[in-house]
Amino acid sequence: MNTTFLKACRGEKTDHTPIWIMRQAGRYLPDYHKVRSQMTFLELCKNPEKAAEVTLQPVDILGVDAAILFSDILVTLEAMGMDLDFKEKQGPVLAHPIRSQAELDQLIIPDPIEKLGYVMDTISLLRTELADKVPLIGFCGAPFTLSTYMIEGGSSKNFFNTKKMMYTDPGLYHNLMAKLTASTISYLQAQAEAGAQALQVFDSWAGSLAPNDFAEFALPYVQEIIAALKPAGIPLIYFANNCAGLLDLTKTSGADVLGLDWRVDIPTAIENFGPDIAIQGNLDPISLLLPEDKLEKRIASILERGRGAKGHIFNLGHGIVPETPPEKAKFVVETVHRLSKGK
């Protein structure tokens, strides 16, 4: 078993810098399209054999140092009682967004085994299939990011309805966040019990908040989730996207590892976080389109800048884009391994 990823999360010395790629199982891989063409995205998420199969694709094709469960952050909202669909071109659609206390009261805090058992089945299958390969990462959406989908009813540019609720009816917004947090905690606990060996909390839209709003409305719920999962004894990763203006705050999340998007200068983050937090990141996903020599220079620079951290897990600064040639993703993995070996 290649444990470099888990060691780097804990800040232990490794013989190379481990790498995995956000959204590594997905549409840039022809192998993914083959499986996906037989069923809808949600059907794929709910089919443990097929979900496990696509989870393993990047492990076998790219040689990454960790697998991430194939699922989506939004399945929790369906489990809570929302009507979720993924439409071609449009992305996720939640037909009845939550905008009032009465609508919120309709949602449940689901029993994860009863409503999301397919996720735990996928994890169990994967642990068997990954036995001598790499560790498995489980994940969830952070309450703020989930709240944007819940309140907007889908993807959004400026999060108008979310912020409107936050600013004009903060009591309702906090109630909604408390319910999302309770659902998330039991979901992650179930993932850990099923065999997830690390957990990542995705806060994709955290950077849309002013620091004081992030501190008041988003961060306390992330802290609550991280604190509740500490007893599981596995590395906890918090990825707040677009976090350059939030470093003073994200460092108090309690997470063992903080994910960085590409807009952040790594040494600045390390100086801010201090000696107790490992980092993950932060290559610009679009830079994978560069010719190999230019791409290699960027990789070398990130490895160099990450050396002062307690631990460094190489990753992109956000999800890999569907237009990426798979050979380039493979080149990144090989280059990170080659340049970091023995250093």
Assess 25 for contact with ligand CP3 (CB under 6 A): yes
Size of the site for ligand CP3 (CB under 6 A): 21
- Segment near ligand CP3 (CB under 6 A), from 67-75, 77-85, 101-109, 119-127? 67-75
Task: In the chain, count H helices and then E strands.
Answer: 16, 9
Binding residues for ligand CP3 restricted to 283-322, rule: CB under 6 A:
319
Q: Out of 11, 120, 122, 139, point to the residue binding ligand CP3 (CB under 6 A).
A: 139
What are the residues facing 159 on neighbouring strands? none
Burial of 42 (0-12, 13-18, 19+ CB in 10 A): middle
Assess 86 for contact with ligand CP3 (CB under 6 A): yes
Active site residue 72: yes
- Segment near ligand CP3 (CB under 6 A), from 69-77, 224-232, 248-256, 269-277? 69-77
CA-angle at 199, arms to 151 and 37, nearest 5°: 70
Q: Which helix (H) or strand (E) holds 237?
A: strand 236-240
Active site residue 261: no
Active site residue 305: no
Q: Are strands 84-87 and 257-259 parallel, antiparallel or unpaired?
A: unpaired
* Nearer to ligand CP3 (CB atom), residue 70 or residue 187: 70
* Nearer to ligand CP3 (CB atom), residue 299 or residue 316: 316
Helices (H), the chain: 4-10, 30-36, 41-45, 48-62, 75-79, 101-105, 112-129, 143-152, 160-168, 170-194, 211-213, 219-229, 247-250, 266-273, 292-306, 326-340
Phi and psi for 211 in degrees, rounded to 5?
-50, -40
Q: Which of 28, 32, 65, 72 is catalytic?
A: 72
Closest approach, Cβ 105 to ligand CP3, in A, equals 25
- Segment near ligand CP3 (CB under 6 A), from 65-73, 217-225, 242-250, 301-309? 65-73
Question: Running DSSP on this structure, what letter comes out for residue 259?
Answer: E
- Segment near ligand CP3 (CB under 6 A), from 19-27, 105-113, 180-188, 227-235? 19-27
- Nearest-angstrom CA–CA distance, 315 and 190: 26
282 prior amide bond cis, ω within 30: yes
Q: Which of 27, 127, 263, 298 is catalytic?
A: 27
Closest approach, Cβ 144 to ligand CP3, in A, equals 11
Active site residue 149: yes
Q: Are 58 and 319 in contact (CB under 8 A)?
A: no
Assess 263 for contact with ligand CP3 (CB under 6 A): no
Active site residue 10: no
Tokens representing 210 are: 């002013």
Q: Are strands 236-240 and 198-203 parallel, antiparallel or unpaired?
A: parallel
Closest approach, Cβ 102 to ligand CP3, in A, equals 26
Q: Are 209 and 216 in contact (CB under 8 A)?
A: no
Q: Out of 11, 18, 48, 92, point to the residue binding ligand CP3 (CB under 6 A).
A: 92
- Nearest-angstrom CA–CA distance, 204 and 157: 13
Q: Out of 144, 187, 202, 217, point to the residue binding ligand CP3 (CB under 6 A).
A: 202
Q: Which residues bind ligand CP3 (CB under 6 A)?
A: 22-27, 36, 41, 68, 70, 72-74, 86, 91-92, 139, 155, 202, 204, 319
Q: Give me the active site residues, please.
A: 23, 27, 36, 72, 149
